[in-house]
């Protein structure tokens, strides 16, 4: 081999080494970019999961609060010793009576009449029946909703709170779907 062909071979080898380094650097850069994108997608997914978790916690807290309120209302409408002590003598009304005084003159007086306990119990029963009629039946609860009906009053939760919780859950669900689409588009590459 001549010196010029050795030089040509050495130049070619040097060129290949430079190109190999550039190719390796490009490959490493592409891998680092993909790793960063995967990390960002993972962070977004984790943030979305956390938001969904927080939304679910708020829903659970709201349900717990409402169940406590419902139990208190049911207790207040159940005739027992406690409600009798709380309500007896609390309700009264006035009636006008026409009577004669000692001289036989007609006179109108107002008389206070206290509502008897039996009548108060009948009113409580009527309120309980009305609440049971206006509450959704078990057949009205969507399958897979996670709700069980133990009494008609269980599901009477303020609509605005449910709507707000549902909107938060919908936002989180949409974000999770967006992240899943991004993940599918990227081929689901993991670190």
Asked if the structure places residue 190 within a domain, the reply is no
Q: How far is residue 53's CA from residue 46's CA, in Å, rounded to a whole number? A: 10
- Residue 24 structural domain: 3-185
94-144 per-position pLDDT tens digit: 888 888 888 888 898 888 889 899 888 888 888 888 887 666 554 555 555
Asked if the structure places residue 34 within a domain, the reply is yes
Residue 172 pLDDT greater than 60, yes or no: yes
Q: How far is residue 166's CA from residue 163's CA, in Å, rounded to a whole number? A: 5
Asked if the structure places residue 69 within a domain, the reply is yes
Asked if the structure places residue 64 within a domain, the reply is yes
Q: Residues with Cβ < 8 Å from 96, sequence gap 6 or more?
A: 108, 109, 110, 111
Mean pLDDT within 79-104: 88
Asked if the structure places residue 191 within a domain, the reply is no
* Better pLDDT: 79 or 168: 79
Structure tokens at 157: 């939760």
The fraction of the chain above a pLDDT of 70, given in percent, is 61
Which of 137, 132, 142, 138 has its CA nearest to residue 162?
A: 142
Q: What is the CA radius of gyration of the chain?
A: 39
User: Could you tell me the maximum CA-CA distance found in the chain, to the nearest angstrom?
Assistant: 155
CB atoms inside a 10 Å sphere around CB 122: 13
- Number of domains comprising the chain: 1
Asked if the structure places residue 177 within a domain, the reply is yes
Q: How far is residue 189's CA from residue 177's CA, in Å, rounded to a whole number? A: 17
Asked if the structure places residue 130 within a domain, the reply is yes
Residue 92 pLDDT greater than 70, yes or no: yes
Say what the pLDDT of residue 153 is.
41
Asked if the structure places residue 98 within a domain, the reply is yes
Q: How far is residue 84's CA from residue 128's CA, in Å, rounded to a whole number? A: 16
- Give the angle 41-45-47 at the CA atoms, nearest 5°: 115
């Amino acid at each position: 081999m001549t010196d010029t062909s050795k030089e040509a071979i050495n130049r070619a080898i040097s060129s290949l080494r430079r190109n190999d380094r550039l190719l390796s650097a490009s490959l490493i850069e592409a891998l680092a970019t993909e790793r960063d994108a995967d990390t960002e997608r993972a962070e977004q997914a984790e943030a979305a999961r956390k938001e969904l978790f927080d939304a679910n916690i708020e829903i659970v807290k709201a349900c717990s609060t409402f169940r406590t309120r419902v139990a208190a209302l049911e207790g207040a409408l159940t005739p027992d010793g406690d409600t009798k002590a709380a309500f007896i003598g609390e309700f009264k009304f006035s009636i006008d009576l026409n009577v004669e005084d000692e001289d036989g003159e007609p006179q109108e007086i107002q008389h206070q009449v206290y509502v008897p306990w039996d009548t108060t119990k009948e009113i409580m029963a009527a309120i309980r029946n009305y609440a049971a009629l206006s509450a959704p039946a078990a057949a009205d609860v969507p399958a897979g909703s996670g709700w069980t009906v133990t009494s008609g009053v269980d599901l009477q939760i303020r609509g605005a709170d449910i709507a707000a919780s549902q909107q938060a859950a919908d936002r989180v669900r949409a974000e999770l779907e967006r992240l899943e689409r991004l993940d599918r588009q990227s081929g689901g590459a993991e670190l």
